[in-house]
Each structure stands twice: as C-alpha cells, then as structure tokens.
Structure 1
Amino acid sequence: MNSQPEIIAHRGGLWPGMSENTLEAFAAAHRAGVGWMETDVHASADGVLFAAHDADLDRIAERPHRIRDLPAVELDRIDLVAGGRLPRLNSLFDELPGARWNIDVKAPHSIGPMIRTIRTAGAEERVRLASFATSTLRHLRSGLPGIRTSAGTAETALFTLGALPGVPDRGLAPFPPGLDALQVPRSFKGMPVVTAGFVERAHAAGLLVHVWTVNDAAGMRALLDLGVDGLVTDDVMEGLKQLGEHSRPTDGPPENEE
C-alpha cells in the first residue's frame, strides 16, 4: 500500500480556459504536483486513440459526429468548446513523460488500439487500465499480460460480498493477475460503498482504494480519514490542499515540566 494517498486528476481536472481531457489540463495538473492522470479513450476510424470521455463530439465540440466515425487527422483539427483540442494518447505519453495514466477503455473497438499503443510506447509501467466491463478487462489483460488494472463492476461486486457472514474477506472470486485497485464511488443508489470495513478488507487483500469523483472538501477529509489511497477529483488544487493538511503531522503533547 502507498504510505501517502494520492490525488488523481479526473480528466486532467477543471481549469479556467481549458477543456477537460486536453494536454493543457493534464499539464496544469502535473505542474501542480499530481502524478496520476485519469482519462478515458476512444479510437478514431483509423484506430488512433484519443483522450475523451464521450463517444461523440456533441457536448465537447458541438459537432454531430462520433469519434469512431472520423479519421485522426480530422479529429486533430476540431476545436473544443472550452478551448484546446482532443489529444492523441500517444502524444500525451510523449509530452508528459513523468505522468502516469489511469485509462478507462470505454468501448470494445478501442481494445486493440489500446494494446498496440501501450506496446509501441513502452508504457506498461506508466498505466493502469480500467473498464466497467469484465469482457473488456479480460481482453486487455490477455493482450498485455501482467498489466496493472483496476477492478471492473462485477469484480468489485464480488469483492464487496466479502463483508457478508460466511464469505471470505476477499470475496467470491480470485483476483486476476495485475489487479491492484478498487476504484469506486462513495455510494451507490444511496448505499455507502466506501466504509472503514471496505478499506480494511481491500488493504488486507493487497488492493488500493480509489474513490471517484470527489470534489468537496468535507468529503475528501472524510475519505482520507478512512484511509483511502486515492481521490479522483476535478478540483485538483482543493485535493492537494486537503491531502497536505491531512498528512501534516500534529503537535504532540507538551513535555512534562520539571
């Protein structure tokens, strides 16, 4: 386990005059002192991966197209509503060599390009792959043996069952090779997910606990008090502030006077 929890910049974080998931946003987070960047990827029509959460360009660029329907050279030229352009994933690897990347592979057609991009860039030690879908994770783990991954939805659910009487603490299924983190919301359908027991069982099993997406200071403090290993946040500066205050040593009791 990490002795010090981390801030993970959600889509690079939200910064004035910058779009999410752009080189400018990721660079701002990295300059602020964040080591891990969270992003999502979609492949273009010709198999080039771009950092983008949505499958289409409607919200971010007001364009009625899906990323997978356009070639990379055309995607390179599209201006985003809040500034900047969609970055290619391999360009992010090149431009920010000191950053590490938590990458959510959103769609099956991006699996092959993801495997090729990591191999070509030699980025195996700089990434953690994620997906809600078990099938996507299975293909990624097969194509990149030993690659670091977080748990998918089904894997997380099986682990959560370990809190029930008579069920092993590690849950109902063995962990696949490379699994190193549970990345979860604070709650699901009104039920708390991240509890002291959840964190304790995860750590006992050798897994990190990362919580998304946490933007309020009180929530950050509460989760840090529970011992989570990472906060995925849009508010990078607030996250770093809370992390610094949480890790600051407290004054010990005064020494006895003679």
Structure 2
Amino acid sequence: MLQLPKVIGHRGAAAYAPENTLESFREAKRRGATWVETDVKLTADGVPILMHDESLKRTTGLDRLVAQTPRAELPAIVPTFEEAIACWAGLGLGCNVEIKPCPGREEETAVAAVETIRRCWPASLPIPLLSSFKDPSLAAAHRAAPELPRALLIDAHGDTWEARARAVAAVGINTNGKRLTAPWAVDIKQAGFLLSVYTIDDPAVARTLVAMGADCVITDAPDVVLAALS
C-alpha cells in the first residue's frame, strides 16, 4: 500500500523558489519536506521535462510553447525529468509526478514518463505516485506500468469521479482543497481511496482538511503546513 506523507511540497517549495526547478526541490528539502510534486511535459523532440504551463513564458520569460521547443533550446533553469530524479535521489525526496501533457500528447507523455521512471528511478526512493487530470494519460500509464500507483486529479466534485478513478485503477484522488466538502471527503475515504488536497498554504485550512480525512496536503509552503500539522 502506498504511504503518502502528510505534506508534499508543490512544485518543490514554490512559495520560496522558482517552481519545478532543482533549487525549488532543494528548498523543499531544507524546509522539511520528504516528498515533492512536479509536472512532466514533453518537448518538441519528446524529452520529458518539468513544466506546468503549455508556454514557457510565465516561468522562464521565453515566449514559446513547450511542444514546439526542442530540449536544446530550453532555458537552463528547466530541468529534464531525468535530471530531477537524480536530484531527488541525492536529497532523498519522494515524488508525486503529475503527467501534464500538452494537448494531443496525453498517452505519449505518460509513456515517456513511465519509461524514464523505469530507467532512472533509484531503489532508495519510495515508489512515485503518478497523477493526472487526463484520464487517457492515467490509462496509458496503467497499461505501461501497472505497478506504479496512480491518482486521479479532479478540480471539483462531480457524479463520475469514482467511475473515472476505477477505470484507471487509481489508488487516490487528488483534489482542490478549497472545493472539497466534508461529505465528499467521507465518500472518497469510504470508497477506499487515498485523499490528497492541493494547493493549501493556510495552516488553519490545512488542519481542517486533515480533520475531514485528507491524507496529504500539497502546499507551496511545506514548512508552514508541517508546523501546523505537527
């Protein structure tokens, strides 16, 4: 059974360092995180990198789409997934790997992420959790690596959440903590799923969500939430 920590650093420690960078992961470690969360996308030449947006502009200043940019032309601050895994290995950090495909690359991104994990993931780290908002990505990950646990990302409650999660053999639900209701939290837990909430930086809100049944709080400020839950 997958064991998640109470707190996961969102994109590293995004409140303190540029998100999805090696420095952000080092900062998360310095601030007490034992796991981090990150986003994996593919470059134009099919290299898995860490990036949330479809465009590079917000985080790097380069006004180009990830899907149209080869790895060799990316800013140096953007790590490959392989480089990030090596960083986590050195820091002893587990990871919730969000498959964040550009449109039309849902299955391709999942397969590339899984192949990188199988090739590079060290035995010293806990098995990673794969998550995605995209059902086809999770389905492709399940086919390619059924041994890797999966979580369905859902922004808000809907009638189909459990059927969708079962269809991709998910072990967890990762949802927007600001929209989670107590009845839905009960339903998720009674259905046997792990429950993670994002992106919660307020200590009081974090405590309330854990009291509602959340197993894990994903946060930009892991030190703040860890202190609140200690």
Q: TM-score, normalised by structure 2?
A: 0.84
Return the offset for 1:115: 2.3
Q: How does 1:13-162 map to 2 (within 5 A)?
A: 13-16=13-16, 18-75=17-74, 78=75, 85-97=77-89, 98-107=92-101, 108=105, 109-122=108-121, 126-153=127-154, 157-158=158-159
Q: Which residue among 175, 179, 182 is the counterpart of 2:170?
A: 179
Return the offset for 1:3: 9.0
Q: Which residue among 180, 185, 208 is the counterpart of 1:193?
A: 180
Give yes or no for contact 2:32–2:222 (8 Å, CA) kept in 1: no
Q: How does 1:204-219 map to 2 (within 5 A)?
A: 204-219=190-205
Taking the aligned partners of 2:189 and 2:159, their CA distance within structure 1 comes to 16
Unaligned runs of 5+ in 1: 80-84, 161-170, 245-258
Summarize deviations over 1:51-70 as a string: whole Å, max 9, x none.
11112111111112112222
Give yes or no for contact 1:12–1:39 (8 Å, CA) kept in 2: yes
Aligned residues: 221
Q: Kindly tell me: are residues 36 and 58 of structure 1, through their superposed partners in 2, closer, same or farther at Cα, counting changes over 3 Å? A: same
Q: Which residue of 1 aligns with 2:7?
A: 7
Q: Which amino acid aligns with 1:66?
A: L
Q: Which residue among 189, 211, 222 is the counterpart of 1:236?
A: 222
Give yes or no for contact 1:146–1:178 (8 Å, CA) kept in 2: no
Give yes or no for contact 1:185–1:194 (8 Å, CA) kept in 2: no
Give yes or no for contact 1:146–1:177 (8 Å, CA) kept in 2: no
Taking the aligned partners of 1:121 and 1:204, their CA distance within structure 2 comes to 35
Return the offset for 1:179: 1.7
Taking the aligned partners of 1:131 and 1:22, their CA distance within structure 2 comes to 20
Give yes or no for contact 2:98–2:131 (8 Å, CA) kept in 1: yes
Taking the aligned partners of 2:129 and 2:93, their CA distance within structure 1 comes to 12
Q: Which amino acid aligns with 2:214?
A: V
Larger Rg: 1
Give yes or no for contact 1:44–1:67 (8 Å, CA) kept in 2: yes
Return the offset for 1:202: 2.5
The percentage of counterpart residues that share the same residue type is 26
Q: Kindly tell me: are residues 216 and 182 of structure 1, through their superposed partners in 2, closer, same or farther at Cα, counting changes over 3 Å? A: same
Give yes or no for contact 1:128–1:147 (8 Å, CA) kept in 2: yes
Q: Kindly tell me: are residues 178 and 29 of structure 1, through their superposed partners in 2, closer, same or farther at Cα, counting changes over 3 Å? A: farther
Taking the aligned partners of 1:20 and 1:217, their CA distance within structure 2 comes to 21
Give yes or no for contact 2:154–2:176 (8 Å, CA) kept in 1: no
Return the offset for 1:116: 1.7
Return the offset for 1:146: 2.7
Unaligned runs of 5+ in 2: none
Cα RMSD (Å) = 2.8
Q: Kindly tell me: are residues 143 and 172 of structure 1, through their superposed partners in 2, closer, same or farther at Cα, counting changes over 3 Å? A: closer
Give yes or no for contact 1:5–1:243 (8 Å, CA) kept in 2: no
Taking the aligned partners of 1:86 and 1:174, their CA distance within structure 2 comes to 31
Return the offset for 1:176: 4.6
Q: Which amino acid aligns with 1:150?
A: A
Q: Kindly tell me: are residues 12 and 139 of structure 1, through their superposed partners in 2, closer, same or farther at Cα, counting changes over 3 Å? A: same
